[in-house]
Amino acid sequence: MAIISLLAAGCSQYNAQPYTAPSAPAVSEAAPGTGSTEAETNAVTISSFAFNPQEITIKAGGSITWTNLDSAPHTVKFEGFESERMGNGGRYEHAFMEPGEYDYICSIHPSMKGKVIVQ
């Protein structure tokens, strides 16, 4: 009986200290996999014989993916380089490392014009 009394007395003690929540972990400015060091990807669609958007601004190191939604083939031609012909659903991706303004056309339909501004 004495043992049961001691056990019961030990279980009935009250701790008067207030509860303190654990502190939140420190938050860094850029979580892993995000931030300015990761390449940025942007999209331009080709439909109704036009680039949409016609002008796009990206950060240096970012890339653009062009997707042809027309039934006609198209290209993306910059001074010095050009994509392959893209049929319906075709894609072309290019990374821009240097700041500047880059005008481009579709070499099959030269009236189709676009511009990439790299900051």
Asked, for residue 15, whether it belongs to a domain, the answer is no
Number of domains, the chain = 1
One-letter amino acid for residue 54 of the chain: Q
pTM, rounded to two decimals: 0.67
Instruction: Give the domain CATH number at 60.
Output: 2.60.40.420
CB atoms within 10 A of CB 95: 13
**Tens digits of per-residue pLDDT, 51-98?**
999 999 999 999 999 999 999 999 999 999 999 999 999 999 999 999
The answer to whether position 94 is within a domain reads yes
Give a yes or no: residue 6 inside a domain: no
Q: Is the pLDDT score of 9 beyond 80?
A: no
